[in-house]
Amino acid sequence: MNICTQLGIIGPGANTDITGNEYYNNPISLGAYISCGLKMFMHPDYVRQGMTRYNIMQGFYFMPEVVIGNFNYTYQVTSWNYPNNQTSTTVTDNITNYAVILNLGKQWVLSDRFILNIHVGIGYGGTTTKGNIPQSNYNSTDDLTGGNYFDYVTTNLFSYNAGVDMGMLF
């Protein structure tokens, strides 16, 4: 068994319009995530059956993993007033993600120094989103008036994880 942790950066320098909506411009995401799991080797690899193992870090494994991430999503909302006045408001939403994922994988140790790891996993997760709805410039009774604060939680989400990792043993 060993404990595996990862620390990552979310969206450094990314500035692409993923919404395809002309009213939401210049989105930028910036944040971080951390994950931690216990890798339990279930079927180690041997040179010959009943003889010597290749390496204690090589073989098929099962790893339950907990993932937590947080990032700010900043974008500009463009709206039009009558007659043809355009206003733009910058909005920042704070998004926190969490998941519990059950991974299965196979890990090889090459030359007693390098690791090649292939894994796939499924699990359960959720998201918490907090932010401001920008002031509406329309003269109607819509829900966007007043720059309301919102806070909502989404759970029961299917989470997945898959990848090929390379590393070095120290």
149-166 average pLDDT score = 78
Ranges of beta strands (E only) in the chain are 2-10, 24-44, 59-81, 85-110, 114-132, 149-168
Quote the pLDDT of residue 107: 92
> 49: phi > 0 → left, psi -120 to 50 → alpha, else beta; which?
beta
Grade residue 136 by pLDDT with cuts at 50, 70 and 90: very low
- Where do the domains of the chain lie? 2-168
Mind listing the pLDDT tens digit for each residue in 65-88?
999 999 988 877 776 666 667 777
Peptide bond into 12 cis (omega under 30): no
Quote the pLDDT of residue 159: 87
Q: What is the mean pLDDT of the chain?
A: 78
Q: Does the predicted model carry a pTM greater than 0.85?
A: no
More confident residue, 89 or 148: 89
Quote the pLDDT of residue 18: 52
Grade residue 36 by pLDDT with cuts at 50, 70 and 90: very high
Query: Rounded to whole angstroms, how far apart are CA atoms 33 and 31?
Result: 7
110-115 average pLDDT score = 88
Is 157's pLDDT higher than 70?
Answer: yes
Grade residue 47 by pLDDT with cuts at 50, 70 and 90: low
137-164 average pLDDT score = 62
Is 15's pLDDT higher than 90?
Answer: no
Grade residue 93 by pLDDT with cuts at 50, 70 and 90: confident
Structure tokens of 155?
Answer: 């759970």
Query: Rounded to whole angstroms, how far apart are CA atoms 10 and 60?
Result: 30
119-133 average pLDDT score = 87
Q: Which residues contact 111 (CB under 8 A, 6 or more apart)?
A: none
Work out the number of other CB atoms within 10 angstroms of the CB of residue 5: 9
Quote the pLDDT of residue 119: 96
